[in-house]
Each structure stands twice: as C-alpha cells, then as structure tokens.
Structure 1
Amino acid sequence: MTHEVLEIDRVSKRYGEIVALQDMTFQVRAGELFGFVGSNGAGKTTTMRITLGVLAADSGEVRWGGLPITFQTRRRIGYLPEERGLYPKMKVLDQLVYLGELHGMSTNAAHRSAENWIARLGLRERRNDEVQKLSLGNQQRVQLAAALVHDPEVLVLDEPFSGLDPVAVDVMSQVLREQAAAGVPVMFSSHQLDLVERLCDRIGIVRNGQMVACGTVDELRAGAPPQLVVDAPDAPAGWANGLAGVTVVEQVGTRTVLELAGDADDQAVLRAAIATGPVREFSRSKPSLTELFRNVVTQEKTA
C-alpha cells in the first residue's frame, strides 16, 4: 500500500451570501496526524465534506497523490461524520460487514476485518446488538470501526472524540497513532484542544472559512508573546494591573499567568510580586494550544 499526501488547494464554497470557505489551503502528509480546529461554523465540516466529495466546491481542488479525488479513490478514504451515519436498526457486525463490502471487500475479508475492529474497540459483547440500543459512546466506537473496516489509505474524522469516556478516548487515540505510524494521513477535527495538542504532528486553526494558522504547536507558539507564571500567595487581586507591557491572562488561586509585550521587563514583574510577600513560583511558560486558539480566533480580521 502506497501512502500519498492529501492536498486541499484553494477550496472555496458559498451558500448564497454566506462564505463558508475562502481559499482553504493545507495538506495532510503521509503518516501525519493533522488536527483541524476552529469555532462552530468556521468551515471544518464543509472542508471535510468537500474532501469526501459529499459537497462540491465552487472553486479549488482536493488532490490525493497529486491527482483529483475520483469515485474510485474515494472508496479508499475512511470517513467519520459528525452526525452519526449508521443504520439504527442494523446489528453492529452486520453493518460493518455490509460497509466493508460497499468499499469493495469480499464478504470473508469484510467479516474478518469487522470482527477485528469489534474486538479492538471493545464491542465484542455488543456485536449482535442493534446500533440504536447502544450508548452514544459505543455508537461512536462503531462509527470509528465503520471508518476503518475497509483498511483505508486516508482517514478524515469529524469530531471523533465526541461523547467518549476517558477509556474510549485512550483507545481512539491509540488507534489514530497506529494508523499514522502505518503511513496513513489522518485528519480530524476536535474541540478538545488539550487532546489535539497531545496527539497531533501539525495543527490548522480555521476562522471564518480560512486557514489562519498552521504548523506544529512549537511553530504556532513561536509567534506568541512570552508568558510568566507567578505564584504569590499573599498578593491582592489585581496586583499586576498597571505594570507596563503586562497583561493578566488568568488567575487561578494564588497563581497568576501574565503575558508580556516585547518591551515588558520581567524583573519589574518580579519586584512587584516580591513587594506583596513570598513568591513560590516565578517561571517562563509557553502558551497552551487553547490560549493560542483563543488569540487567533478573537483577533479582528484585518483588511
């Protein structure tokens, strides 16, 4: 099996006056976990549906291995939709076998693969249950099995962690890592930014139908202002207000996270903290993906 790059190249989509996507451009490399994050309505699901051919783009192109995606190549993609796309009255095993056959597998091969994923995802005792009788978390596991049953060469997953308990999140994370390690390009969207930060090789942040930041977490952090974490147990509320070039990001208990502008003096911050009493922590910190995301999506669009 050869693994290729998935390219989304200047894809645009309008619904009347509403611009859903504008020149959306990025690529997911072979063997890469690519996290796709943005607020509701930012354009993530539209991008994924166009990638699958469920929606047609107004302009731009989706390519895999340098060629436009066709019906034949689309059968090699594993897709997990945000709204579950399963037959509610069909039994889990029967459904997975049927979906494997739809993707061109023989009945025997589909059966073997379905049983493998049922066991792997902890669904063995539910294999003969109707999907509608499963918990939402188990339905999500079946949905993942449906995306994987035909041994896809690309994975496109819309909110795969939605509704999962911590154990299922661990299982899902491990499966996605294994798929990427086998060379599969894996693209998924999620609002669970700590999970995205932990799992992904690269991350794309989408706002108003455009890719506004894309790179590794370290690359995204590189342009962010430095932060200080100060733990001053006796400091009154607002002790850092008024310090030149200093913005209070958050205050939790006795710990204050501060953002420093380019000309801010960290020693002045330290002196102000010491003036309030003991200082238990004074350290530089890198912004989390959640903070980077907040900064990017709340910036005013510049003309």
Structure 2
Amino acid sequence: MIEVTDLRKEYGGFTAVEGSSFSIERGEVFGIVGHNGAGKTTTLKMLAGLIEPTAGTAVVAGHPAGAPAMQRRLGFLPEQSPLYEEMTPLSYLEFFADLYDVPSAVASERIDDILDRLDLEHRDRELGNMSKGMKRKIAIARALVNDPDVLIFDEPASGLDPLTTNYILEFTSELSEEGKTVVFSAHNLFHVESICDRLVIMSEGTIVARGTIDDIRSAYGGRTYHVTSTPGAAGTVVGPDGVDAPVAEYARENGHCRYVVTDMDGVDAVRTAVEAVGGQVTDIETKTPSLEQIFLEVADEATA
C-alpha cells in the first residue's frame, strides 16, 4: 500500500530526513516515532505530498506521493489542525466533501455515520464553541470524508483527556480492521505500543530501529525473569558466581535476594543453587521493557 525508497529531505544545508526506506501493508497501523526534530513530521508530510523530497520516492496507494489520484485516496490529520470556527460540524464536513466531489446524498450519509461512530453530539454548534476533544474528532472526520484507503495521523490524541484519547485509539484500530492503512505518529509511546503493528524509530533524520514491538524488544533488552529467594542456612547468599546462569543483575532487598536472568534455564539454575544452600525461591516475575525504555536506549545509542 505504501512503498518508501531512500527518501531524503534537505533544507538548505540541513538534512531533515536521510535515506528512509520502508513498506506498509494494507490494513496495518504503522508507527513512526522519534524525539523532536527526528524527522517524523517531515516524513509524514512527504508521504502526504505536502512537501517534495530532495531525493528518493514514496508511492502511496499505487501513486506517487502528491499525485492527484493519490490525494483522493488519502486522509491526512496534521498535529495542528485549525478549523473554520464559525462553521458547524455538518457544514464544515459538507464543505470538504464537496471539495472531494463526493455526491451530496453519499456525503450526508457518510458524515452522519462518521459522527455517530465518533460519538459526536451538538452537530449544529459552531466549532469555535466546542471543546478541544470535539474539535479533534471533527478533524478526524474531515480526514475520512472522502473514504480514503490510507490515513496519516500525526499526534491524533495530543493534549486530549484520557477518555477521549482512548476513544480515538480504539477508533483508529477499528479503521485498520476495516482494511484502511494507518500511518501513526505520537510522542506518547504507550499509544504507539498499544495499536501499532510495526514501527520505525527515527533519530536525527535516520531510521535506527524497525520491526514489530516484539522484534524491537528482542533486539533491545528482550524478556527477563526476576527471581526472588530467601537466604540459605545461616543467612548464606548465593551470588552470581555461584549460579550457573547468565545473571544480568543481583541484589539483596529486604532480607531477600533478587536475581535477573534472561531465560528459563537461568531460572532453573538459580533455583538449584539457592536450594543447595537451604534457601527457597519465593517469586518469579517476567518483565519486558516498555517501548519508551527501548526508545530511550535506541536514541542514546544513535546520538552517542
């Protein structure tokens, strides 16, 4: 659905995006994340055809980015999306449907359906008198009024309350289940982790990690097992040297011992060593790094 090859964007002597390549399948929610200035928004704008790349290509829905045929199959939600505040939701969306040459009867039914799904009331109230969450829902509806195959959402839930945020994330997942391709960017990495099928992490204009959340987690930290035990006879503690397993961490806490190992063989080795000196394993906890923890590690490595 989207094919990006060696995409590059320069502004004067500054390179905002350098050699980005990735592909996105139909029905995927694909995340693009990175710190401020990493090249995320520039990449999204090139995909949307709003700015031309210095080099490389982006093909969206079978057409070059920016081509009129592509624009008709695209819905774009920028991070900042001012509305015509003297208009009502209905008049505003009807205006944009007309720009896309959507027949009036089709537009009316589609607009009602979208607003129903977004649970938006007060459809005759002027946009200037609506809350930030309601305005964001209207902006999302505008991106859908032409029934696009591809959606680009840049910070769709930025600054919204938790309830509205959750609603928008669930709605985004529903769109992908219906076969729409969604390119998604957000500073809140929990949001990215909760809905994205795959993602790329950008730093200083370059893609520095890519794949599913599990792929990236395996490459940067992976799963660990935290094993807690009591000391053995007469307070004997088995340190890392006494455990035939890769121990990433070892500490004494509140009279107990805590080991961090990387696999179940390590857990078994800890249990055997602890029991050999009269101790007992009291807890085994599985932990995986969050996307935010991974992002910080990847970003640190990329800028080092």
Identity, in percent, stands at: 31
Structure 2 residue matching 1:127: 3-state secondary structure: coil
Does 1:112 pair with 2:126?
no
The structural deviation recorded for 1:154 is 0.5
Choose 177-186 or 41-50, whichever is displaced more: 177-186
Does 1:282 pair with 2:284?
yes
Deviations 1:20-75 (A, max 9, x none): 10011112210111111111111111111111111111111110244313122212
Residue identity matched to 1:17:
G
Matched with 1:103 is: 100
Does 1:294 pair with 2:296?
yes
Structure 1 residue matching 2:43: 3-state secondary structure: helix
After superposition, the CA RMSD in angstroms is 3.4
How far apart are the structure 2 equivalents of 1:14 and 1:247? Answer: 45
How far apart are the structure 2 equivalents of 1:135 and 1:270? Answer: 60
User: Residues 30-69 of structure 1: matches in 2 within 5 Å?
Assistant: 30-69=26-65
| TM-score, length basis structure 2 | 0.81
1:12 to 1:258, Cα distance in 2 relative to 1, 3 A: farther
Deviations 1:249-277 (A, max 9, x none): xx9xx9989687x9xx77679989xx9x9
2:155 to 154, 159, 163: 159
CA contact (8 A) 1:270 1:282 kept: no
In structure 2, list runs of 5 or more residues that go unmatched. Answer: 232-239
How far apart are the structure 2 equivalents of 1:11 and 1:17? Answer: 16
Matched with 2:190 is: 194
1:177 to 173, 184, 192: 173
Deviations 1:174-231 (A, max 9, x none): 3222221222111110122222212111111111111111111111122223534356
The size of the alignment, in residue pairs, is 285
1:74 to 71, 75, 82: 71
How far apart are the structure 2 equivalents of 1:146 and 1:255? Answer: 57
How far apart are the structure 1 equivalents of 2:183 and 2:130? Answer: 26
CA contact (8 A) 1:76 1:103 kept: no
User: Residues 122-133 of structure 1: matches in 2 within 5 Å?
Assistant: 122-124=119-121, 126-133=122-129
How far apart are the structure 1 equivalents of 2:84 and 2:230? Answer: 57
1:222 to 204, 218, 228: 218
In structure 1, list runs of 5 or more residues that go unmatched. Answer: 235-241
Matched with 2:10 is: 14
Larger C-alpha radius of gyration, 1 or 2?
2
Does 1:148 pair with 2:144?
yes
How far apart are the structure 2 equivalents of 1:93 and 1:205? Answer: 38
The structural deviation recorded for 1:280 is 4.9
The structural deviation recorded for 1:168 is 2.1
The structural deviation recorded for 1:160 is 0.8
